[in-house]
Protein backbone atom coordinates (compact mmCIF):
# COMPACT_ATOMS: atom_id res chain seq x y z
CA UNK A 1 0.00 0.00 0.00
CA UNK A 2 1.32 3.44 -0.91
CA UNK A 3 1.96 5.43 2.28
CA UNK A 4 -0.31 8.29 1.30
CA UNK A 5 -3.25 5.93 0.89
CA UNK A 6 -3.62 6.38 4.64
CA UNK A 7 -4.53 9.99 4.02
CA UNK A 8 -7.61 9.34 1.91
CA UNK A 9 -10.82 10.63 3.51
CA UNK A 10 -12.20 7.14 4.12
CA UNK A 11 -9.38 6.50 6.57
CA UNK A 12 -10.18 9.51 8.70
CA UNK A 13 -11.89 8.80 11.96
CA UNK A 14 -14.99 11.04 12.08
CA UNK A 15 -14.30 12.16 15.64
CA UNK A 16 -10.95 13.55 14.49
CA UNK A 17 -12.43 15.30 11.51
CA UNK A 18 -14.73 18.13 12.41
CA UNK A 19 -15.40 18.96 8.74
CA UNK A 20 -16.55 15.52 7.62
CA UNK A 21 -20.16 16.71 7.81
CA UNK A 22 -19.48 19.18 5.02
CA UNK A 23 -18.34 16.32 2.81
CA UNK A 24 -21.55 14.47 3.69
CA UNK A 25 -23.53 17.49 2.52
CA UNK A 26 -21.48 17.56 -0.69
CA UNK A 27 -22.14 13.83 -1.16
CA UNK A 28 -25.89 14.22 -0.59
CA UNK A 29 -28.44 13.39 -3.25
CA UNK A 30 -29.90 16.45 -4.94
CA UNK A 31 -30.74 15.29 -8.48
CA UNK A 32 -33.33 12.94 -9.96
CA UNK A 33 -30.60 10.83 -11.61
CA UNK A 34 -28.69 10.62 -8.36
CA UNK A 35 -31.77 9.39 -6.55
CA UNK A 36 -32.65 6.88 -9.28
CA UNK A 37 -29.19 5.36 -8.85
CA UNK A 38 -30.13 4.38 -5.30
CA UNK A 39 -33.90 3.93 -5.18
CA UNK A 40 -36.57 2.55 -7.52
CA UNK A 41 -37.99 5.90 -8.66
CA UNK A 42 -38.91 7.40 -12.02
CA UNK A 43 -36.41 10.25 -12.52
CA UNK A 44 -38.82 12.25 -14.73
CA UNK A 45 -41.44 12.34 -12.00
CA UNK A 46 -38.85 13.29 -9.38
CA UNK A 47 -37.51 16.06 -11.65
CA UNK A 48 -40.87 17.79 -11.99
CA UNK A 49 -41.27 17.89 -8.21
CA UNK A 50 -37.80 19.16 -7.37
CA UNK A 51 -38.03 21.97 -9.90
CA UNK A 52 -40.56 23.42 -7.46
CA UNK A 53 -39.41 22.02 -4.12
CA UNK A 54 -35.73 21.13 -3.84
CA UNK A 55 -34.44 17.77 -2.66
CA UNK A 56 -31.47 16.94 -0.52
CA UNK A 57 -30.95 13.60 1.21
CA UNK A 58 -27.80 12.91 3.19
CA UNK A 59 -26.16 9.51 2.67
CA UNK A 60 -26.82 8.88 6.37
CA UNK A 61 -30.57 9.51 6.12
CA UNK A 62 -30.82 7.65 2.79
CA UNK A 63 -29.38 4.57 4.48
CA UNK A 64 -32.30 4.55 6.92
CA UNK A 65 -34.75 3.82 4.08
CA UNK A 66 -35.72 0.14 4.17
CA UNK A 67 -38.45 -0.02 1.55
CA UNK A 68 -40.59 1.98 -0.83
CA UNK A 69 -42.96 4.39 0.92
CA UNK A 70 -41.68 3.56 4.39
CA UNK A 71 -41.73 6.39 6.96
CA UNK A 72 -38.22 7.60 6.10
CA UNK A 73 -38.90 7.44 2.36
CA UNK A 74 -42.12 9.43 2.75
CA UNK A 75 -40.29 12.21 4.62
CA UNK A 76 -37.38 12.52 2.19
CA UNK A 77 -38.31 11.29 -1.31
CA UNK A 78 -40.20 13.81 -3.48
CA UNK A 79 -43.77 12.81 -4.28
CA UNK A 80 -45.79 14.05 -7.30
CA UNK A 81 -48.63 14.72 -4.83
CA UNK A 82 -46.61 17.78 -3.74
CA UNK A 83 -47.15 19.60 -7.00
CA UNK A 84 -50.72 18.38 -7.45
CA UNK A 85 -51.63 20.19 -4.20
CA UNK A 86 -52.58 23.70 -5.25
CA UNK A 87 -55.49 24.45 -2.90
CA UNK A 88 -53.56 25.19 0.26
CA UNK A 89 -51.71 28.49 0.70
CA UNK A 90 -47.90 28.55 0.42
CA UNK A 91 -47.62 30.75 3.53
CA UNK A 92 -50.70 29.38 5.27
CA UNK A 93 -49.62 30.56 8.72
CA UNK A 94 -49.15 34.14 7.58
CA UNK A 95 -45.47 34.41 8.51
CA UNK A 96 -44.59 36.97 5.85
CA UNK A 97 -47.23 39.57 6.87
CA UNK A 98 -45.90 39.32 10.45
CA UNK A 99 -42.27 39.80 9.44
CA UNK A 100 -41.17 43.39 10.14
CA UNK A 101 -37.79 42.64 8.53
CA UNK A 102 -37.07 39.80 6.09
CA UNK A 103 -36.87 36.35 7.66
CA UNK A 104 -37.88 37.42 11.17
CA UNK A 105 -41.44 36.73 12.31
CA UNK A 106 -42.63 38.68 15.35
CA UNK A 107 -45.99 37.17 16.28
CA UNK A 108 -45.90 37.01 20.09
CA UNK A 109 -44.75 40.09 22.01
CA UNK A 110 -41.85 38.45 23.84
CA UNK A 111 -40.30 36.16 21.20
CA UNK A 112 -39.25 36.12 17.60
CA UNK A 113 -38.71 33.41 15.07
CA UNK A 114 -35.51 34.30 13.25
CA UNK A 115 -34.71 32.34 10.05
CA UNK A 116 -30.93 32.43 9.73
CA UNK A 117 -30.28 29.74 7.10
CA UNK A 118 -32.23 28.63 4.05
CA UNK A 119 -30.37 25.32 3.88
CA UNK A 120 -31.19 21.96 5.48
CA UNK A 121 -29.37 18.63 5.49
CA UNK A 122 -32.53 16.95 4.24
CA UNK A 123 -35.44 18.83 2.72
CA UNK A 124 -38.40 17.30 4.50
CA UNK A 125 -41.26 16.77 2.11
CA UNK A 126 -43.69 17.82 4.88
CA UNK A 127 -41.86 21.10 5.66
CA UNK A 128 -44.22 23.91 6.69
CA UNK A 129 -41.73 26.42 5.27
CA UNK A 130 -41.26 24.71 1.92
CA UNK A 131 -42.07 27.97 0.14
CA UNK A 132 -38.59 29.18 1.07
CA UNK A 133 -36.20 26.41 2.16
CA UNK A 134 -33.39 25.55 -0.22
CA UNK A 135 -33.67 28.80 -2.15
CA UNK A 136 -30.24 30.36 -1.78
CA UNK A 137 -31.22 33.98 -2.46
CA UNK A 138 -33.56 34.41 0.50
CA UNK A 139 -31.47 34.38 3.67
CA UNK A 140 -28.11 36.13 3.65
CA UNK A 141 -25.55 37.67 5.99
CA UNK A 142 -27.33 40.98 5.30
CA UNK A 143 -30.76 39.71 6.41
CA UNK A 144 -29.15 38.15 9.51
CA UNK A 145 -27.63 41.55 10.34
CA UNK A 146 -31.01 43.23 9.87
CA UNK A 147 -32.63 40.64 12.12
CA UNK A 148 -30.09 41.15 14.91
CA UNK A 149 -30.58 44.92 14.65
CA UNK A 150 -34.36 44.47 14.93
CA UNK A 151 -33.95 42.37 18.08
CA UNK A 152 -31.51 44.90 19.53
CA UNK A 153 -34.06 47.71 19.06
CA UNK A 154 -37.04 45.79 20.46
CA UNK A 155 -36.57 45.43 24.18
CA UNK A 156 -39.71 43.29 24.61
CA UNK A 157 -37.98 40.38 22.87
CA UNK A 158 -36.80 38.00 25.58
CA UNK A 159 -36.65 34.75 23.61
CA UNK A 160 -34.97 34.35 20.22
CA UNK A 161 -35.68 31.24 18.16
CA UNK A 162 -33.07 30.57 15.52
CA UNK A 163 -34.70 28.66 12.72
CA UNK A 164 -34.63 28.44 8.97
CA UNK A 165 -33.97 26.22 7.20
CA UNK A 166 -31.55 24.76 9.68
CA UNK A 167 -29.29 27.10 11.68
CA UNK A 168 -26.71 24.34 12.14
CA UNK A 169 -26.07 24.34 8.37
CA UNK A 170 -24.12 27.56 8.96
CA UNK A 171 -20.36 27.31 9.45
CA UNK A 172 -19.07 27.18 13.02
CA UNK A 173 -17.61 30.69 12.91
CA UNK A 174 -20.86 32.16 11.57
CA UNK A 175 -22.85 30.46 14.35
CA UNK A 176 -20.39 31.67 16.98
CA UNK A 177 -20.52 35.26 15.74
CA UNK A 178 -24.31 35.29 15.54
CA UNK A 179 -24.73 33.87 19.05
CA UNK A 180 -22.19 36.35 20.41
CA UNK A 181 -24.15 39.25 18.91
CA UNK A 182 -27.43 38.00 20.36
CA UNK A 183 -25.88 37.33 23.79
CA UNK A 184 -24.55 40.89 23.86
CA UNK A 185 -28.16 42.16 23.82
CA UNK A 186 -29.17 42.59 27.47
CA UNK A 187 -32.90 41.96 27.03
CA UNK A 188 -32.41 38.63 25.23
CA UNK A 189 -32.80 36.08 28.02
CA UNK A 190 -33.04 32.76 26.21
CA UNK A 191 -31.91 31.51 22.83
CA UNK A 192 -33.43 28.49 21.18
CA UNK A 193 -32.03 26.68 18.18
CA UNK A 194 -34.47 24.75 16.03
CA UNK A 195 -32.54 22.08 14.17
CA UNK A 196 -33.31 18.77 12.53
CA UNK A 197 -29.64 18.01 12.17
CA UNK A 198 -29.39 15.59 15.14
CA UNK A 199 -31.86 13.48 13.12
CA UNK A 200 -30.69 13.97 9.53
CA UNK A 201 -26.95 14.60 9.90
CA UNK A 202 -25.90 13.74 13.47
CA UNK A 203 -22.21 13.87 12.40
CA UNK A 204 -22.60 17.67 12.35
CA UNK A 205 -22.78 17.70 16.16
CA UNK A 206 -19.01 17.85 16.59
CA UNK A 207 -17.12 18.56 19.82
CA UNK A 208 -16.17 21.93 18.30
CA UNK A 209 -19.80 22.86 17.70
CA UNK A 210 -20.87 21.81 21.21
CA UNK A 211 -17.95 23.84 22.57
CA UNK A 212 -19.30 26.91 20.76
CA UNK A 213 -22.95 26.45 21.76
CA UNK A 214 -22.17 25.95 25.44
CA UNK A 215 -20.63 29.41 25.68
CA UNK A 216 -24.03 31.03 25.18
CA UNK A 217 -26.24 29.56 27.90
CA UNK A 218 -29.14 29.64 28.60
CA UNK A 219 -29.40 28.02 25.19
CA UNK A 220 -31.96 25.38 24.29
CA UNK A 221 -32.13 23.14 21.26
CA UNK A 222 -35.38 21.81 19.88
CA UNK A 223 -34.88 19.07 17.38
CA UNK A 224 -37.27 17.18 15.12
CA UNK A 225 -37.59 13.39 15.10
CA UNK A 226 -40.72 11.79 13.68
CA UNK A 227 -40.16 8.05 13.72
CA UNK A 228 -38.39 5.49 15.95
CA UNK A 229 -36.26 4.35 12.97
CA UNK A 230 -34.54 7.75 13.22
CA UNK A 231 -33.33 7.01 16.76
CA UNK A 232 -30.03 5.46 15.70
CA UNK A 233 -26.82 5.09 17.72
CA UNK A 234 -25.38 8.07 15.78
CA UNK A 235 -28.39 10.24 16.65
CA UNK A 236 -28.19 9.13 20.28
CA UNK A 237 -24.51 10.06 20.35
CA UNK A 238 -25.25 13.52 18.92
CA UNK A 239 -27.96 14.14 21.51
CA UNK A 240 -25.72 12.89 24.32
CA UNK A 241 -22.98 15.30 23.23
CA UNK A 242 -25.42 18.22 23.29
CA UNK A 243 -26.94 17.19 26.62
CA UNK A 244 -23.46 16.78 28.10
CA UNK A 245 -22.84 20.35 26.93
CA UNK A 246 -25.65 21.39 29.25
CA UNK A 247 -28.06 22.10 26.42
CA UNK A 248 -31.63 21.12 27.30
CA UNK A 249 -33.08 19.20 24.37
CA UNK A 250 -36.68 19.27 23.20
CA UNK A 251 -38.37 17.68 20.23
CA UNK A 252 -40.98 19.09 17.88
CA UNK A 253 -42.53 16.11 16.17
CA UNK A 254 -44.95 16.53 13.29
CA UNK A 255 -47.90 14.16 13.15
CA UNK A 256 -47.80 12.77 9.61
CA UNK A 257 -50.09 10.38 7.77
CA UNK A 258 -48.25 7.18 6.90
CA UNK A 259 -45.27 8.09 9.08
CA UNK A 260 -46.22 8.16 12.75
CA UNK A 261 -50.03 8.23 12.94
CA UNK A 262 -50.26 5.04 14.94
CA UNK A 263 -50.20 4.65 18.76
CA UNK A 264 -47.46 2.01 18.93
CA UNK A 265 -45.19 3.99 16.58
CA UNK A 266 -45.73 7.25 18.45
CA UNK A 267 -45.25 5.60 21.85
CA UNK A 268 -42.02 3.99 20.76
CA UNK A 269 -40.76 7.31 19.35
CA UNK A 270 -41.57 9.23 22.54
CA UNK A 271 -40.02 6.61 24.83
CA UNK A 272 -36.93 6.47 22.65
CA UNK A 273 -36.55 10.25 22.69
CA UNK A 274 -36.74 10.38 26.47
CA UNK A 275 -34.03 7.69 26.69
CA UNK A 276 -31.86 9.97 24.54
CA UNK A 277 -32.48 12.80 27.06
CA UNK A 278 -34.74 14.62 24.59
CA UNK A 279 -37.97 15.94 26.12
CA UNK A 280 -40.89 15.77 23.68
CA UNK A 281 -42.10 19.38 23.53
CA UNK A 282 -44.72 19.70 20.80
CA UNK A 283 -46.59 17.27 18.59
CA UNK A 284 -47.60 19.50 15.70
CA UNK A 285 -50.70 18.77 13.74
CA UNK A 286 -49.59 19.14 10.10
CA UNK A 287 -50.05 22.74 9.02
CA UNK A 288 -52.24 23.63 6.03
CA UNK A 289 -49.32 24.38 3.71
CA UNK A 290 -49.28 23.99 -0.08
CA UNK A 291 -47.41 20.89 -1.17
CA UNK A 292 -48.06 18.89 2.00
CA UNK A 293 -51.75 17.90 1.69
CA UNK A 294 -50.86 14.21 1.34
CA UNK A 295 -49.56 14.17 4.93
CA UNK A 296 -52.67 15.66 6.48
CA UNK A 297 -55.14 13.81 8.68
CA UNK A 298 -58.12 14.80 10.83
CA UNK A 299 -57.51 16.52 14.17
CA UNK A 300 -59.77 13.83 15.64
CA UNK A 301 -57.04 11.26 14.85
CA UNK A 302 -54.46 13.37 16.66
CA UNK A 303 -56.69 13.62 19.71
CA UNK A 304 -57.21 9.85 19.73
CA UNK A 305 -53.45 9.38 19.50
CA UNK A 306 -52.91 11.75 22.44
CA UNK A 307 -55.47 9.79 24.46
CA UNK A 308 -53.52 6.60 23.76
CA UNK A 309 -50.38 8.07 25.34
CA UNK A 310 -51.63 8.81 28.85
CA UNK A 311 -51.04 5.66 30.87
CA UNK A 312 -48.92 4.05 28.15
CA UNK A 313 -45.81 6.25 28.36
CA UNK A 314 -44.16 8.30 31.07
CA UNK A 315 -45.78 11.70 31.52
CA UNK A 316 -42.29 13.10 30.86
CA UNK A 317 -42.54 11.77 27.30
CA UNK A 318 -45.91 13.29 26.46
CA UNK A 319 -45.73 16.39 24.24
CA UNK A 320 -48.39 19.06 23.91
CA UNK A 321 -50.52 18.54 20.81
CA UNK A 322 -50.61 21.81 18.87
CA UNK A 323 -52.45 23.35 15.99
CA UNK A 324 -51.14 26.56 14.47
CA UNK A 325 -53.98 28.84 13.38
CA UNK A 326 -54.04 29.93 9.73
CA UNK A 327 -53.29 33.55 9.02
CA UNK A 328 -50.99 34.12 11.99
CA UNK A 329 -53.37 33.40 14.88
CA UNK A 330 -50.67 31.47 16.69
CA UNK A 331 -50.39 28.08 18.34
CA UNK A 332 -53.15 26.48 20.38
CA UNK A 333 -52.78 23.32 22.49
CA UNK A 334 -55.52 20.71 22.11
CA UNK A 335 -56.35 18.08 24.70
CA UNK A 336 -58.64 15.07 24.46
CA UNK A 337 -61.79 15.86 26.41
CA UNK A 338 -61.41 14.11 29.76
CA UNK A 339 -64.20 16.11 31.41
CA UNK A 340 -67.54 14.49 30.65
CA UNK A 341 -69.72 16.93 32.59
CA UNK A 342 -69.30 19.59 35.24
CA UNK A 343 -71.52 21.59 37.51
CA UNK A 344 -70.87 23.65 40.62
CA UNK A 345 -70.58 20.61 42.88
CA UNK A 346 -68.79 17.99 40.86
CA UNK A 347 -67.06 17.05 37.64
CA UNK A 348 -67.31 13.70 35.92
CA UNK A 349 -63.88 12.86 34.52
CA UNK A 350 -62.69 9.86 32.56
CA UNK A 351 -59.21 8.48 33.23
CA UNK A 352 -56.64 6.88 30.92
CA UNK A 353 -58.60 3.59 30.99
CA UNK A 354 -61.86 5.33 30.09
CA UNK A 355 -63.25 4.78 33.61
CA UNK A 356 -65.40 7.63 34.89
CA UNK A 357 -64.70 9.20 38.28
CA UNK A 358 -66.37 12.02 40.15
CA UNK A 359 -64.21 14.89 41.24
CA UNK A 360 -65.48 17.29 43.94
CA UNK A 361 -66.25 20.76 42.62
C1 LIG B 1 -44.02 28.57 17.10
C2 LIG B 1 -43.63 29.97 17.05
C3 LIG B 1 -43.01 30.58 18.13
C4 LIG B 1 -42.66 29.84 19.40
O5 LIG B 1 -43.78 29.40 20.09
P6 LIG B 1 -43.60 28.67 21.49
O7 LIG B 1 -44.98 28.21 21.79
O8 LIG B 1 -43.06 29.66 22.46
O9 LIG B 1 -42.64 27.53 21.29
C10 LIG B 1 -42.68 31.90 18.03
N11 LIG B 1 -42.96 32.62 16.92
C12 LIG B 1 -43.57 32.06 15.87
C13 LIG B 1 -43.85 32.90 14.69
C14 LIG B 1 -43.92 30.71 15.89
O15 LIG B 1 -44.51 30.15 14.83
S1 LIG C 1 -35.27 20.55 8.51
FE2 LIG C 1 -36.98 21.86 9.17
S3 LIG C 1 -36.85 23.67 7.87
FE4 LIG C 1 -35.60 22.08 6.92
S5 LIG C 1 -36.95 21.07 5.46
FE6 LIG C 1 -37.06 19.90 7.36
S7 LIG C 1 -38.83 20.78 8.45
FE8 LIG C 1 -38.24 22.27 6.85
Q: Where are the domains of the chain?
A: 20-334
Q: Residue ranges of the chain with pLDDT lower than 50?
A: 1-14, 16
CB 121 within 8 A of CB 204: yes
Residue 129 is a catalytic residue: yes
Q: Are strands 219-223 and 249-254 parallel, antiparallel or unpaired?
A: parallel
Atom of ligand 1 nearest to the CA of 159: 8
- Give the relative orientation of helices 263-275 and 299-309 as an angle to the nearest 10 degrees: 60
CATH topology (fold) of 20-334: TIM Barrel (3.20.20)
Number of H helices and E strands in the chain, helices first, is 13, 12
The pLDDT of residue 73 is 98
The pLDDT of residue 321 is 98
Whole-number Å distance, alpha carbon 123 to ligand 2 midpoint, is 6
Report the 10 Å Cβ neighbour count for 209: 21
pTM for the full predicted model: 0.94
DSSP conformation class of 249:
E
194 in ligand 2 pocket by Cβ < 6 Å? no
Select which of 56, 74, 111, 296 is catalytic. Answer: 111
The pLDDT of residue 5 is 38
The pLDDT of residue 135 is 87
In terms of Cα–Cα distance, which of 97, 95, 128 is closest to 114?
95
The pLDDT of residue 136 is 75
Atom of ligand 1 nearest to the CA of 322: 7
- Per residue in 143-168, pLDDT tens? 999 999 999 999 999 999 999 999 99
165: cis peptide before it, omega within 30°?
A: yes
Which residues, 6+ apart, have CB-to-CB distance to 341 below 8 Å? Answer: 347, 348
Which residue's CA is the nearest one to ligand 2's atom 1? 196
103 in ligand 1 pocket by Cβ < 6 Å? no
The pLDDT of residue 361 is 77
- Per residue in 25-84, pLDDT tens? 999 999 999 999 999 999 999 999 999 999 999 999 999 999 999 999 999 999 999 999
CB 239 within 8 A of CB 199: no
Atom of ligand 2 nearest to the CA of 123: 5
Q: How far apart, in whole angstroms, are the C-alpha atoms of residue 96 and residue 102?
A: 8
Amino acid sequence: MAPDALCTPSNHHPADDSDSWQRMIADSITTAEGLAAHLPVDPDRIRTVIQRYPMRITPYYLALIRQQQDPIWRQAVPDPAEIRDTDLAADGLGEEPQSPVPNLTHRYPDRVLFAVSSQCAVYCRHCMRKRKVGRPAGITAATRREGVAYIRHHTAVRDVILSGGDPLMLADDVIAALLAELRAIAHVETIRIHSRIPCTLPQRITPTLVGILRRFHPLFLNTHFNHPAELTPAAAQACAALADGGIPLGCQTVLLKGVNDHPTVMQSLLRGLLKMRVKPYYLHHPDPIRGTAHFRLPVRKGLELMRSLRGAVSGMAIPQYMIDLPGGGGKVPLLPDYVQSADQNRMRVSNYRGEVYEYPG
